[in-house]
Each structure stands twice: as C-alpha cells, then as structure tokens.
Structure 1
Amino acid sequence: MEERIDKKMRYSWIKNFGPQWFSAVMGTGALSISMNIASDYYSPFSYISQFFLLFSIIMFLVFIVPWTSRFITNYNDVKKDLFHPVLGNFFPTMPISLVIIGIALDRVGPSIIDISVVNTISLYLFIIGSIGIFIFGWMILSIIFTHKKIKLEHANYGWFIPPVSHLIIPVLGFSLMKHYTDALVDNILFFISMIGFSVGLLLFIFVGSIVYHRYIFHELPPSHLAPTFLIGIAPTSIITIILVKILGALSGFSILGIDSSSISAEIKLLSVMTWGFSLWWFAFFL
C-alpha cells in the first residue's frame, strides 16, 4: 500500500513539474556570478560564489530528471504547457540554465578545479545550451504565430524569455574566445554568439512592441503576473554586458577585418545607453 502511494506521489510530481522550475537555477547561477564580482571588493564573497555555483549545479541535476521524464511519461501535459501563453515561454529556462552555469563556471570554476577542465565543460555547456535555446525559441515563436487561441490580451513580459535566452549565448561565447588560440574555434564562437545576439535583439524589439501595445490598449494582466514586468530589465542589461564583451572578444583577434580600437568609442556609448534604459526600467518597475 505504501509503495503504491509513493509511486503515485512520484508520478504526480513528474506530471505537475512545470518548466518554470529552472528559473531558480538561473537565479542561483546569476547570484554566483554576482558574488564573484563582489569578491573583488570583499574577498569572503568568493566562497559564497563557489557555494552558489555548486548549489546551482545540484539544482539543475535534480530538476533535469523530472523535466526529461515528463517528456516521456506525460507528453500530453508537456504539449499543453508548450501551447500555454505563459508557461510555454519558460521552456527555454532549461538551456538558459546551462549557459548561465557555464558563465559562472568560467568565472568561479578556476578557483575550484583545473582551468583546462573548466574551459572544456564550459564549451560543452555553450554548445548544448545554444542548441536548446535556438530549438525552443523557434518552437515557441511558431506556436505563437500559428496558435488560433492566443490573443493579444495573453501578451505579458514573460514573452521576453525567448529573446533573453538568445541574448545569453554571446555572454558565454565571447568569454570563451579568450581561452582558445585556434582561429577556427574563435570564429565559430564569434559567429554563433553574433547570431544569438541578432536574434535576441530583434525579438526583443518585436515582442516588446507587442507587449507594450497590449499594456496600453487592454486591461492589465492578473496580479500574479506582475513579477514578469521585471523581466523587461533583462534584455538591455544583457545587451550592455554583450557590448562590453565584444570589445574584449575582438582584442587581439582578426575577425571580419574588424579593429576593436576603431569601434571602441561607439560601443562604449551604446553600452551606456542600454545601461541607462535598464536603470530607467528598474525605477519604473518600483
């Protein structure tokens, strides 16, 4: 009897395991990165960053089991979530988590394990995460374009997650370029990163205009969706980071004949502009 109840509980847990759980992994990984940056000013933060890195990895390994099992045992529930106007946008959080763990590992990892191991693992996380982001981004947009029951009033700032997922690719890609001297690897990392940047930037503009229109001409979304408004700060914040990392990626490399010193001033101006918009959005959210 107890065995039957335990089996039923495990089945129920997998059945109801939503795609949004990986948002916790994203936040924990980002906290590890933040603590590592803060350790430049207060060294004990480095130990906290290591803890959150390990914790984010453990969380990912725990969550990936029911997340993957659900595709096999409860595919109809997965399909239902994919076609949901809110939950569907959270599926990219799984590959985003891989990339964020890769970014955290690139910064924090060398203080724990050998740097060559860190670079190899981060590269694999970049490849797998990028593939997952492009696949889910394409799937979700296809559903939004073709789903007959999705209406304008369903639009919310959770729709920004697919653009954000593409924008996170170059953050890790440009960071990895400094570890490889092979021109082919650098070019591949650069072009994949730039494709992710362009897709994410344009989707941010297109989706942003739709959501902006919805907030003006329709009633505000339900109160439980209010936290999604803060997601709007992510795209321009990440774009600021990307612009800074582009300069670092191009320094010492000859890609498309671009001289980083010739575009340095323009990129710095753009980064200040995007940072300013993020600051404005945060103030607007408050």
Structure 2
Amino acid sequence: MTSLPSTTRGLPRFDDLRDIIRQFTPNWFAATMGTGILALALPQVPTIGPALAPFGEALWLFDIALFGLFAGLYGARWILFTNEARRVFGHESMSMFLGTIPMGLATIINGFVAFGLPRFGDGVLPVAYALWWIDVAMALACGVLIPYFMFTRHAHALDRMTAIWLLPVVAAEVAGASAGLLAPHLATAADQITVLVTGYVLWAYSVPVAFAILTILMLRLALHRLPHASMAASCWLALGPIGTGALGLLVLGGDAPAMFSAHGLAQLGAVAASLGLIGGLMIWGYGLWWLALAALLTVRYWREGIPFNLGWWGYTFPLGVYTVASFKLGTALHLAFFGWVGAMLTIALFAMWLLVASKTLAGARTGRLFHSPCIASAA
C-alpha cells in the first residue's frame, strides 16, 4: 500500500491500513453528524426544498457509506488493538467523542424517514425501528458512563473545560428527537406510544444535564481565558443541545395529540402539543443568544488564525439542528420568518460543510488527521 506521509511534526508515518486502524478515533464520527444534518435540512428550505431533496438524499446515502466505513475502522481497532482502544475511556477529551457515534447514527435513522420511505416504501421502517433502539442503548450508555468516568478516572479543571463535555450527554436528546420523527410511521399504536414516551424520557434524560453544563460553561468563559485556538469550534457545541431540545419538543408535541388520544389521554396530548410549541419557541430564543455569541467568538478566533482539526465538524451539526428547529417552528406557527431564518442558516451550514469536508479529505490523504491522543498520552 502507498505510504501516507504525515505533514505534522512528531506524528507517526503511515505505511499501511493497519496503522490507520491503530490511530482511528471516535471523533471521526462527527463528520457523519455534520453530513447527515445537512442532508436533512436541504429538503426543508422554503420554496426550493423539493429541488434540493435529491441532493439531500444523495448526501444521506453518502452518510450511510461514511458511517459504515468509520464503524468498520473503529471496530477493527477494538479487535486488533484492544488494549490501546480501551484507553479512550480514561482520556479526558477523546472519551467525550464517543457520543458522536449514536448521534451520527441518528441522522441516518432520520434519513430513513425523510428519504427512505419515499424511495423504498414501508419496508425500511423495521430497519429504522431496530436501528433506533440500538441508538437509544448507545445514547443512554454514553450519557451516564462518560460522566461516571469524568468523576472517577479523569482529572478535569474548570479552566480547561470546553463545550465538548456536552457530547456524551446530548446523544440521548438527539435520539429523543428521532423518536418524534419515527413514531407516526410505525404500524401499531402500541409501538407508536412506546416510542413517543421513550422520546420524552430521553429528552428529560439529557436536556437538564446539558443545560447544567451550559451554566458551568458560562462561568468558565467568564472567569478564564477562551479555550485554545485548536478548540475554537467548541463554542458552537452549546447550540447543539439547545437546537435539539427545541426540535425534540416540537416533533414530540406534534405527535402527542393523536397518539395519546388513541390511549384515552386526549387532554394530555393537547397539553403536550401546547408545551411543545411554547417550549420549543422559548428554547429557540435562548439558542439565538448562543448563536450570536458563537458567531462573535468565531470572528475573534479566525482573525487570530486557527489550525484545522476534526473538531471543525463542531461548526456543522449544532448549526444544523438549530436550522431544522427553525423550519419546524415556521411550519407550526405558519410564520415565514422562521423559514427564511432557516434558509439563511442552511446557506451558512452548506458553506461550512464544504470547507470542513474539503480540509478533512486533504488531511486524510496525508494521514495527518489519523492520530490517537490516547496512545500519545500513554507513551
């Protein structure tokens, strides 16, 4: 195999696929998150959404292939280099990126509803349903085990904190939002209500913890200097739980009246729908503050110059879920304003995806991005 020379001083040279597998890390799955959310946002753009849908579908299929490739490489690492792969649980930063695996899978599941159903018919629903439960299991595990390791194995400090603390926690609310998209298409009322109720539990399992982390993050930003330029993209991660929290309330609330009514709980369904709309709107407003702050911080970082790394994918998924939440609000409230905001954010999302994807491809070709800090820290 052709050697993949590293362009970064101090990093190993890559002579074969075995070296790439040894150095493969879970933060690569952030690329599937950003690609998947762009695919889901494109068909929702007002007026031109139907024209963009084929491109969105192509991106979704590419996302599936990308996720499969990454899953194969990371799975191979656990088989071939088990002891080194296990070090991820003790690494303060890389362990957080384990949450990107279920979140990347969630975009594929949502794509089965958005693209798979129209293209392949109801036959894709059992696949989406099975994958969703796998996603739920991974999200629940990440949401509690990574904080457990933070409390028992890691050595964290407030001045070194960044928004990557959110990654393992937010996976559950992403799965909860997926529940709202999947539930209406399931065949039986029992399956529908089960997924709906589970979606609400996942939302509650994640959002309060994420908002608690955001509170600590604000304190850290006020008391200490901004994170290093290599973590510049992490300022956007705060928008992730906010956008997903709003989206989850909106889609779950939209499903609630029919599904609760089918079980004799019509009044509860009406309350859930109202809370979903009002709660989603209020959380969206909170996200507007974080969006403005993240934009200001990004301008400051980019003026000073920031090195590229896989963390740049953090610019994409949080912006994407906030964009999709904007579209959902526009539909629910019948207000064109939210649709146009979503359209502008989609343009920004697409431009950022192109930039980050091109830099990722270039870094992968040289081998520079295949570097496991878990191995380096243990050396």
**TM-score, length-scaled by structure 2:** 0.70
Could you say which residue in structure 1 is the equivalent of 2:293? 284
Could you say which residue in structure 2 is the equivalent of 1:271? 280
Bigger mean CA offset, 147-156 vs 19-28: 147-156
* Structure 2 letter corresponding to 1:145: F
Residues in 2 aligned to 1:141 and 1:221: alpha-carbon distance in whole angstroms? 21
Could you say which residue in structure 2 is the equivalent of 1:85? 92
Could you say which residue in structure 2 is the equivalent of 1:244? 250
Correspondence 1:56 to 2:63: yes
Correspondence 1:132 to 2:138: yes
Which of 204, 207, 210 matches 2:210? Answer: 204
Residues in 1 aligned to 2:45 and 2:286: alpha-carbon distance in whole angstroms? 23
Could you say which residue in structure 2 is the equivalent of 1:152? 158
Residues in 1 aligned to 2:47 and 2:112: alpha-carbon distance in whole angstroms? 17
* Structure 1 letter corresponding to 2:54: Y
Does the Cα contact within 8 Å between 2:143 and 2:206 map onto a contact in 1? no
CA positional deviation for 1:152: 2.4
Does the Cα contact within 8 Å between 1:236 and 1:278 map onto a contact in 2? yes
Could you say which residue in structure 2 is the equivalent of 1:76? 83
CA positional deviation for 1:235: 0.9
Could you say which residue in structure 1 is the equivalent of 2:118? 111
* Structure 2 letter corresponding to 1:275: W
Residues in 2 aligned to 1:238 and 1:266: alpha-carbon distance in whole angstroms? 16
* Structure 1 letter corresponding to 2:20: W
1:177-188 equivalent positions in 2, closer than 5 A: 177-188=183-194
Could you say which residue in structure 1 is the equivalent of 2:24? 17
Residues in 2 aligned to 1:138 and 1:13: alpha-carbon distance in whole angstroms? 30
* Structure 2 letter corresponding to 1:113: F
Bigger mean CA offset, 228-237 vs 268-277: 268-277
* Structure 2 letter corresponding to 1:164: V
Residues in 2 aligned to 1:199 and 1:248: alpha-carbon distance in whole angstroms? 20
Residues in 2 aligned to 1:179 and 1:192: alpha-carbon distance in whole angstroms? 16
Deviations 1:216-251 (A, max 9, x none): 223322111010110111111111111111222212
CA positional deviation for 1:263: 4.6
CA positional deviation for 1:154: 3.0
Which structure has more RCO (C-alpha within 8 Å, separation ≥ 6)?
Answer: 2
Residues in 2 aligned to 1:190 and 1:42: alpha-carbon distance in whole angstroms? 27
Correspondence 1:190 to 2:210: no
What secondary structure, in the 3-state scheme, does the structure 2 residue paired with 1:91 have?
A: helix
Please list every run of at least 4 consecutive aligned residues from structure 1 whose deviation after the TM superposition is greater than 6 angstroms.
Answer: none
Residues in 2 aligned to 1:263 and 1:10: alpha-carbon distance in whole angstroms? 51
Could you say which residue in structure 2 is the equivalent of 1:225? 231
Could you say which residue in structure 1 is the equivalent of 2:43? 36
Deviations 1:59-112 (A, max 9, x none): 011111111111122223323232222211111211211111101221111232
Deviations 1:46-67 (A, max 9, x none): 1101110110001011111111
Residues in 2 aligned to 1:189 and 1:263: alpha-carbon distance in whole angstroms? 15
Could you say which residue in structure 2 is the equivalent of 1:98? 105
Query: Residues 265, 188 of structure 1: CA spacing in aligned structure 2 closer, same or farther, 3 A cutoff?
Result: closer
Residues in 2 aligned to 1:27 and 1:256: alpha-carbon distance in whole angstroms? 40
Query: Residues 261, 217 of structure 1: CA spacing in aligned structure 2 closer, same or farther, 3 A cutoff?
Result: same
CA positional deviation for 1:284: 0.9
Deviations 1:103-143 (A, max 9, x none): 122111123212x1221121112111111111122221111
CA positional deviation for 1:213: 2.5
Does the Cα contact within 8 Å between 1:82 and 1:91 map onto a contact in 2? no
Residues in 1 aligned to 2:219 and 2:278: alpha-carbon distance in whole angstroms? 29
What secondary structure, in the 3-state scheme, does the structure 1 residue paired with 2:16 have?
A: helix
* Structure 2 letter corresponding to 1:261: A
